[in-house]
Amino acid sequence: MGEKDISEKLLADYEDVFADIVNVLLFHGEKRVIPSSLQSTKNRSHYKADDSKLHEQERDILKAWTDGHIQIALIGLENQTTPDTKMPVRIFGYEGANYRSQLNNQTIIPVISLVLYFGTETRWHKLRNLKALLNIPEGLEDYINDCHVHVFEIAWLPDEQINQFESDFGIVARYFSELRKNKNYVPDDTRTIQHVDEILKLLAVMSGDHRYEKILAPAESKKEVTTMYSVAQRLEEQGLKKGIKRGRAQERIELLVSLCKAGHISIDIAAAEMHVSKEKFQKYLDGEIPEP
């Protein structure tokens, strides 16, 4: 499993976050699912393809919703950063495998799949049901089973729905909602984050802004990060440090260019001092200022 896949799953795998997501998206904020009623379950299944080989498929997150020892439903979450044309096929395969695993059970429980779409550039514009993807011969329409995809566009959720979230997912939803409206959005949320590391990893993966991954690096973790506002402050500090470092490098370039033009040092020595090639330092002499 890749690091990106793991980062996408870490936050929602917490029972408090998972329950919150289900309660807000399916039950309009009513607390029907409580964290203690959720159990992580097997999210991998196998199938035999046309090549007669056994293949493995894995859902992002799958939990059993229970009432005591009685299972009520299986609920799966799938995270998407881009719309997927084949999502109906994927969901059909996941749910089919989950139903197949219950063949020996006395009672078959329903399987529910939710797709959390974190895109901010475009809305989900791909088809949301299986039959829409198929070229069905005339007369067979009524005999083809369909599968619908339930997509929740996180960045487009209305404010009143985002305000219903009580877990860290509300912070995530607010971030993507504001980022969609303003690409230069600076996080200002002052709510306390419960799962800091998981939120930052999720934001890095879903937004493509890898600065979030560096905030909790050992060298940068001395100052406590507890809110998105403090995250923004840390990002500002990082930018300032980077700017100071770049400024000092620029001063060195200007000094070496002056010495070289005055004939006090050769271009070879100047390039060696900057740890760049002779060709790159020549650009400095020509008035071009590439990144140090």
Q: In this predicted structure, which of 56-70, 150-164, 192-206, 251-265 has the lowest mean pLDDT?
A: 251-265
Q: What is the pLDDT of residue 6?
A: 55
Q: Give the C-alpha separation, 45 to 101, whole Å.
A: 9
Cα distances from 116 to residues 42, 98, 173, in angstroms, run 20, 19, 10
Q: What is the pTM of this model?
A: 0.74
Spatial CA neighbour of 95 closest among 57, 140, 126: 57
Cα distances from 149 to residues 26, 62, 85, 115, 117, in angstroms, run 14, 16, 11, 7, 12
**What average pLDDT does the structure give for the chain?**
83
Is beta strand 70-80 parallel, antiparallel or unpaired with respect to 111-117? parallel
Mean predicted confidence (pLDDT) in 143-164? 97
Q: What is the pLDDT of residue 151?
A: 98
Asked if residue 193 has pLDDT above 60, the reply is yes
Spatial CA neighbour of 207 closest among 181, 230, 227, 180: 180
Q: How confident is the model at residue 48 (pLDDT cuts 50, 70, 90)?
A: very low
Asked if residue 1 has pLDDT above 60, the reply is no
Q: Give the C-alpha separation, 168 to 170, whole Å.
A: 5
Identity of residue 60: D
Q: Measured at the alpha carbon of residue 213, what is the angle toward residues 207 and 216, in degrees to the nearest 5?
A: 140
% of the chain with per-residue pLDDT over 70: 82
Mean predicted confidence (pLDDT) in 163-185? 92
Question: Is residue 4 a contact partner of residue 201, using CB atoms and an 8 Å limit?
Answer: no
Asked if residue 109 has pLDDT above 60, the reply is yes
